[in-house]
Amino acid sequence: MQRLLANATHVLLDFDGPICSIFAGLPAPKVAAALRDYISPLGIALPRHIEYETDPLELLRYAASAGPMVAETVEAGLRGLELQAALRATPTPHADAAIHQFHTSGCQLAVVSNNSDAAIRLYLDQRGLSDYFATVSARTLFQDPALLKPHSHLITEAIKRLDADPSRCILIGDSVTDIQAAIKAGVPSIGYANRPDKEYLLAEAGAHAIIDDMAQLIP
């Protein structure tokens, strides 16, 4: 892993997981339930799997397939709820220190996330971290959910903004979709296994290295 880090000129960090737990204070299942409540007045019969879905982003993906009115309602609702969640998010242990270390070493940093850009910027501002990041490549208003990870779009957009060589970048993410997106973009990746069950999943997905503590990124 140290060889990967030594080669990197640009570090791309997923948001929810490596930087913070965005839904720590406003749990994701509650957010998903609220999104269903927003859909209810529209008279849409939800598929059974969506009635029990606990991942807000899966609700967003469903909404995109259910027509413009549903998509706009859910996107606006989710962005508002993510802003509330960002105010109550819990910092990932040692994440701030790792960010400081990368910045001090001369690496350029970017956030690459399926969460809304507004919520990410709010969190970074309140933590005093905004100046450490050259760009935030994240979900924008009414963006096609098909372009979210595991699609490579957000990563390639960050690379373009940074004018970076993909082979000299490294992505740090805690989900299989992070690793899949990195592979598609030609970017080496480090999997952050913040739960014991993730180590195998991230390795199987193709992560070049696995950590279980962000402190492992600090020399």
Q: Give every CB contact of residue 150 below 8 A, 6+ residues apart in sequence.
A: 176, 177, 178, 180, 181, 184
Chain mean pLDDT for the chain: 97
Got the DSSP string for 9-36? Answer: SEEEE-SBTTTEETTSSS-HHHHHHHHH
Parallel/antiparallel/unpaired status of strands 90-91 and 20-21: antiparallel
8 and 96 housed in the same domain: yes
17 and 55 housed in the same domain: no
156 and 102 housed in the same domain: yes
9 and 75 housed in the same domain: no
Nearest to 110 by CA among 166, 150, 57: 166
Q: Residue 153 pLDDT more than 90?
A: yes
pLDDT tens digits, 174-183: 999 999 999 9
Tell me the three state secondary structure of residue 98: helix
109 and 157 housed in the same domain: yes
Q: Where are the beta strands (DSSP E) in the chain?
A: 10-13, 20-21, 90-91, 108-116, 133-139, 169-173, 189-192, 209-211
Q: Residue 2 pLDDT more than 90?
A: no
Residue that is written with structure tokens 């059974």 in the block: 48
pLDDT tens digits, 101-142: 999 999 999 999 999 999 999 999 999 999 999 999 999 998
Mean pLDDT of 11-33: 98
**Beta bridge pairs of residue 139:** 116
14 and 46 housed in the same domain: no
110 and 132 housed in the same domain: yes
146 and 108 housed in the same domain: yes
CATH number at residue 152: 3.40.50.1000
The domain in which residue 61 lies consists of 28-87
- The pLDDT score that the predictor gives to residue 172 is 99
Mean pLDDT of 193-200: 96
pLDDT tens digits, 44-86: 899 999 999 999 999 999 999 999 999 999 999 999 999 999 9
pTM given for the model: 0.95
Give just the sign of the alpha carbon dihedral 39, 45, 49, 52: positive
- Tally of domains in the chain: 2
- The pLDDT score that the predictor gives to residue 219 is 86
pLDDT band at 171 (very low <50, low <70, confident <90, very high): very high
105 and 162 housed in the same domain: yes
Among 87, 102, 126, identify where a domain stops: 87
168 and 199 housed in the same domain: yes
Q: Give every CB contact of residue 101 below 8 A, 6+ residues apart in sequence.
A: 217, 218, 219
